[in-house]
A and B are shown apart, each in its own frame.
Chain A
Amino acid sequence: MFIALLFPLHVFAMGTYMEPEEFLTKTFSGNTPSPEKLWITKDLTRDINEIMGHDLGVVRLRYWDDKQKRAWILEEIGRDKPITVGLVTADNAIQDVKVLVFRESRGWEVKYPFFTDQFNQVQLNNEKELNKHIDGISGATLSVNALRKLARLALYFESVVSSR
């Protein structure tokens, strides 16, 4: 209690909440498949820019697919630093969202299930927007926006991969 009072709250809020490897192990019940490759073509880059407001800066992305669901580990900057998020998709809907690494000093409330559970079963509409409103969190607007974008991106990738 005394030590907790000495440190600002954000010191405890920043950090790795779940190792990406652990996220994959839990998602696939210990049988994590080998990662697949998704090449970021020009067409994909155009859509990624529309969703994220910028490109991904890479031309190849890995994801994990056990033929029933797919896992994506994606990053987006909230305010200054990247937030690493694990997302599980299946049948063009989100099954699970976990904030894995949070490096910002504010907005860490997005890690809580009361926020991430809102994404469950959310899909992408024709405008590449989420088909359900995601409630924000006061003081965490940029982190919330980052997670909304990543949810759209994961669903977009899901649609690309599942249409092959």
Chain B
Amino acid sequence: MFALIHKWHRKIGIFAATFLLLLIGTGIVINHSEQIGFNTSYIKQNWLLDWYNIDIDSEPFSFAAGSIRVTQIGNRLYVNDKEIANNIEQLIGLQMINGYFVIAYDHSLLLITKSAEAIEILSGEEGVPSGMKRVGIAADGQLVIEAAHGFYVVDLDELQWHEQNSMQADWSLQSDVPEDVLNILKDKYRGTGLSYERVLLDVHSGRIMGQWGVYFVDAIALLLAFIGLSGIWMWFKRLT
């Protein structure tokens, strides 16, 4: 019995130790992933992005004004090819006013320069009306917002919101994303879709190989438990 246990202890030990090193390595790195920056560093390898099916899952659309094109892909927002937000729900429109640009999304207005530098973000607490539907420019050049409860003529500098019953305006219109821009944005979208930390977690748990990978890691864990128990058992046997 001792010889049999000893034989399997050694055989399984060599096999399991290989995976134990992998688990130790990934485990230590995961514990310190924030300090290393692995939670904010992203995989660029296409084969791995393909393995995870990281791709655009909704039809991109955009608004254009002057030199600026703002595009929503999934929950990310791009000004030309620069990502400026990653957790938005709905891009509503874009207007150019007084030399800068106003991007309306969700419950907010983002003011940017023509070089896509953010000036400020305005939300409900600054008076942005709820239920924004579209943004436009009135004949006198003022910014107009149509929201759930009516129309608002906006002075963005003084933050005054003048409610109106109805308004004629040159409304921001949604457009398709040009093919060349879309290809650039697709690469950028995929390039920030999968963090190193996510891959490490999945390697550690075996999930990177799907459900069978998890069962495999479970099996390795059981083998390691056998190594531990058989080692203790043999040690006691030798003592006696």
Contacts and interface: CB of A to CB of B under 8 A. Distances in A.
9 A-B pairs closest in CB distance: A20-B125, A60-B120, A58-B118, A58-B120, A21-B124, A57-B118, A21-B125, A59-B119, A60-B119
Given A20-B124, A61-B120, A142-B34, 10 more contacts: A21-B124, A34-B159, A35-B159, A58-B118, A59-B117, A60-B111, A60-B119, A62-B120, A62-B122, A79-B34
Contacts of A81: 87
Interface in A79-133: 79-81, 103
A143 B59 CA distance: 35
Interface of A: 19-21, 23-24, 34-35, 57-62, 73, 79-81, 103, 142
Given A35-B159, A62-B159, A79 B126 contact: no
Contacts of A20: 123-125
Interface in B76-110: 87
B121 interface: yes
Interface in B114-153: 117-126
Contacts of A23: 125
Interface of B: 34, 39, 87, 111, 117-126, 158-159
B124 A19 contact: yes
Contacts of B111: 60
A19 B128 CA distance: 13
A76 to B, nearest CB: 14
A35 B161 CA distance: 13
Contacts of B117: 59
A20 B120 CA distance: 17
B158 to A, nearest CB: 8
23 contacts: A20-B123, A20-B124, A20-B125, A21-B125, A24-B125, A35-B125, A35-B159, A57-B118, A58-B119, A58-B120, A58-B121, A59-B118, A59-B119, A59-B120, A60-B111, A60-B119, A60-B120, A62-B120, A62-B159, A79-B39, A80-B39, A81-B87, A103-B87
**Which label, helix, strand, loop or mixed, suits the secondary structure of the B interface?**
mixed
Contacts of B125: 20-21, 23-24, 35, 62, 73
Contacts of A34: 158-159
Nearest to B195: A80
A46 to B, nearest CB: 17
A26 to B, nearest CB: 12
A52 B41 CA distance: 20
Contacts of A73: 125
A59 B116 CA distance: 12
Contacts of B121: 58
A19 B120 CA distance: 19
A35 B160 CA distance: 10
A49 to B, nearest CB: 16
A19 B39 CA distance: 29
A51 B39 CA distance: 22
Contacts of B118: 57-59
Nearest to A77: B40
B119 A62 contact: no
Contacts of A103: 87
B124 to A, nearest CB: 5
Nearest to A32: B125
B126 A35 contact: yes
A103 B119 CA distance: 24
